[in-house]
Each structure stands twice: as C-alpha cells, then as structure tokens.
Structure 1
Amino acid sequence: MDGILEWFAALGTITAATLVALDRGRRTTGWGFVLFVVVSVSWIVSGIANDAASLVIQNGALLVVNMWGVWRYLLNPERVKLEDNSP
C-alpha cells in the first residue's frame, strides 16, 4: 500500500497542515486547504484501489470540509472584499 500515491498523499497532508497551522493569512491558509483537497482525493483513490472503505469514507468527509475551507479562504466574495478593504 505504500506506493507513490500514498507517499504523495502523506507528505501533502503534512505540508497542508503546516500551511494552515502557520496562520500567515487567508491566502496561505486557503492554499493549505487546496492542497488538502488534492490529497483527500489521493487518499480516496488509494482507498478504492486497496479496498480500504474506512479510508475512503474518512477522506470523503474530509474532502467536503476541505472544499468548504477553500471556499471560505479563497473563493467567498464577501471574505475577499473584507481582505481588500483591510489596512
């Protein structure tokens, strides 16, 4: 089970968590969530390929949460307006 896909997903998850934890602003946090979306999809593909239903279910739920994070931090027009008006 530890192929290239799993290593990418594991290292990507660590990197995404680091970006979010750094709390360096909306853009950095938003890109952390983008990376979380990509690695969630990677984990889902890995789970399907390896018949690991729990991994698929977990990352399916995390995919929804991470897409919400992308919306909140990068795509939400109201949030973007607030950031543009900040000093």
Structure 2
Amino acid sequence: MMETAAGWIAPAATMIAAMMTAANLGARVTGWGFIIFTIGSICWSIVGLSTGQSNLLWTNGFLTAVNAIGIWRWLGRQAKYDDGGAAAAHKSAGANVPSLFSTGALSGAAVIGSDGSRIGTVIDGMARCDGAALAYVVVSEGGVGGVGERLHAIDPRLLIFGHEGVSTKLTAEDLMAMPVIEPDHWPEKLPD
C-alpha cells in the first residue's frame, strides 16, 4: 500500500516541483518547489527501497540532500534578502529620503502602462559602471512563455520605480512601436 501511494505521489510531486522552479516566480515559490521536490525524492526512495532498485534509492537519497540545500537557499537565504530589500523600499516610500527600489526585484517585474494594465515584463537592467546609474531597462512584450516575445531597451527615465513595482506613462502601443533588440545581442547604449 505504501509503495503504491509513493509510486503515485513521486511523479506528481516531481512534475509539480519542476513547474514551480522552472517558472521562476520568486524565492518563496522556488523554495516551496524544492520542498515538493523533497517529497518526490523521498517517495522515489520508498519506491526504490520497496522494489529493490538500489540505483533509484541512492539517486533520490542524493537528490533529497540537494533539495534540502535548495530549500535553505530559496526559503532561507534568498527570502531574507528579498524581505530586506522590500522593507527598505517600503520604509523609504514614507520617509524624507529618495525612494528606494530593489534591483533584485527588477527582473520579472510587471510594467504597468498608463491605463493601469500590464504592458510588459522587465527582463533586466543594464547599469553604467561609471556611476551605477541604469543605462537602460530591457522590457519584453507579446508572446507566450518567451516564445514570440519582443524585447525593447527602454530609457529608465520613462519608467517609474516604486516599492509596488514598475509603471510608466507609455501605452502598450508606445511600447510595441519602440525598436526591437535581439535576445542575444543587447546594445552598448540605448538605440537612437
């Protein structure tokens, strides 16, 4: 009975965890993905033990240890860093200092257009080495899951960074009309 239950839980947990970690939805989702991976690897170990498959048992014993490191990395260490950045951004929003925005939160942030709808997603930001100011921000629009998306290098002055995310006065049409950059060939400066 235990072997049968483990035989069903193991592949289901492994598939769910793989989707959670591959989606890259933040430290906490990734961390929970590793917890579910751990459940899967323990169940695979039970299957290996009960069926005499020592290779399955040893492999998933090792994966359980790797998953424990993933849990520590994403739910422990990275979650604390994310909380620290969010706390500083939140406190600065109400203080008599320039507002802060965590650059770690930049990648993957939704870009909210002038009408309040999501018009794109921040892929990354490129900082200048001569003063650490942002040279440009790469924003994607269109496509599904990265397939068919178009990338644009945007002047950071066109974006409003806040502790709640990134917004702009641009419309979806404005963003689509901007020059497209290649995914593997970003410019050394903003396109003219």
Cα deviation for residue 84 of structure 1 reads 1.1
User: Is 1:84 matched with 2:83?
Assistant: yes
* Cα distance, 1:7–1:44 mapped onto 2, change above 3 Å: same
Encode CA deviations 1:27-84: one digit per residue, 9 max, x unaligned: 00000000011111111111100000010011011111101000001123xx333111
Q: How does 1:2-81 map to 2 (within 5 A)?
A: 3-76=4-77, 79-81=78-80
The runs of 5 or more residues in structure 2 that have no matched partner are 86-100, 102-192
Larger RCO (CA within 8 A; separation ≥ 6): 1
Cα distance in 2, alignment partners of residues 45 and 17 from structure 1: 20
The runs of 5 or more residues in structure 1 that have no matched partner are none
Cα distance in 2, alignment partners of residues 61 and 8 from structure 1: 19
Identity of aligned residues (%): 35
> What TM-score, normalized by structure 1, do the two folds share?
0.88
In terms of fraction of residues, the more strand-rich structure is: 2
**Alignment size in residue pairs:** 84
Cα distance in 1, alignment partners of residues 79 and 18 from structure 2: 22
Cα distance in 2, alignment partners of residues 53 and 72 from structure 1: 29
> What TM-score, normalized by structure 2, do the two folds share?
0.42
2:190 is aligned to: none
Cα distance in 2, alignment partners of residues 41 and 48 from structure 1: 10
Q: Which has the larger radius of gyration?
A: 2
Cα distance in 1, alignment partners of residues 80 and 36 from structure 2: 24
Partner letter of residue 28 of structure 2?
A: R
Partner letter of residue 18 of structure 1?
A: M
Partner letter of residue 47 of structure 1?
A: G
Alignment RMSD (CA, Å): 1.4
